[in-house]
A and B are shown apart, each in its own frame.
Chain A
């Protein structure tokens, strides 16, 4: 199972929006509405930000939103804040024998 493809980096100024893409295949992202997104600050464990493509866990600001079209999912962070600077990973259920795949990761910089 190959990793999902994300851009290595993305950036924006405080208050702006940034969108991160996550491209998979018709066997994972395109096949199921089970894309999730994780935020990871340096030296810390990942934190769930989005699940089932667009749902937010309790406590996650509504500045974070997710969507999907075909084999590509996206995470948008609106109203960027300094604390949003982190690595972000997408992931997807990949069917066949309960496989699971992560993305390559995107470093978001707040300028």
Chain B
């Protein structure tokens, strides 16, 4: 049974750095496995943020690349996302999701429940 769960602060102040942890079970970040972070501002659409692969390859959405870092601790079944210089517009529910892939293509087959992060002073 595959599960993912996000954890981290519910409230951060502007200019602070956000650190979120995704703890998963039912699979390991072994050969071929990948995990992503996606966010969704209240009432708005989903936005893909970052992806990390079993071999530590990392990919980021172009618009936020300078602010994002994704990392993993495979021994703990965890993936961590940091986002620097948080602003009120970064208020969103942040999801982690497992990736399934075929060739160059990929999609998200299992999602965490999400964590709402509010940016406010």
Interfacial residues, chain A to chain B (CB-CB below 8 A): 1, 3, 32-34, 36, 38, 45-48, 51-52, 57, 89, 91, 93, 95, 97-105
Q: A1-B62, A47-B111 are in contact. Are A102 and B105 (CB under 8 A)?
A: no
Q: A98-B59, A104-B45 are in contact. Are A93 and B105 (CB under 8 A)?
A: yes
Of the candidate stretches B14-22, B46-54, B84-92, the one touching chain A is: B46-54
Q: Which of B100, B107, B110 has the most C-beta atoms of chain A within 10 angstroms of its own C-beta?
A: B107
**Does B106 count as interface, using CB distance less than 8 angstroms?**
yes
Interfacial residues, chain B to chain A (CB-CB below 8 A): 36, 38, 45-48, 51, 59, 61-62, 95, 100, 102, 104-114
Complex CA–CA separation, A30 to B109 (angstroms): 22
Q: Interface of chain B, helix or strand or loop or mixed?
A: strand
Q: A36-B107, A98-B51, A99-B62 are in contact. Are A46 and B45 (CB under 8 A)?
A: no
Which residues of B lie under 8 Å from residue A46 when comparing CB positions? 46, 95, 108, 111
Q: A34-B107, A48-B107 are in contact. Are A102 and B113 (CB under 8 A)?
A: no
Complex CA–CA separation, A99 to B112 (angstroms): 21
Complex CA–CA separation, A102 to B41 (angstroms): 13
Q: CB distance B112 to A45 under 8 Å?
A: yes
A-B contact pairs, 6 of them (CB 8 A): A3-B45, A36-B108, A46-B95, A52-B105, A91-B46, A102-B46
Which residues of A lie under 8 Å from residue B100 when comparing CB positions? 51
Q: A46-B95, A48-B109 are in contact. Are A93 and B46 (CB under 8 A)?
A: no
Q: CB distance A91 to B112 under 8 Å?
A: no
Complex CA–CA separation, A32 to B102 (angstroms): 11
Complex CA–CA separation, A48 to B109 (angstroms): 6
Which residues of A lie under 8 Å from residue B45 when comparing CB positions? 3, 89, 102-105
* CB proximity of B20 to chain A, nearest CB, Å: 15
Complex CA–CA separation, A95 to B82 (angstroms): 24
Q: CB distance A93 to B106 under 8 Å?
A: yes
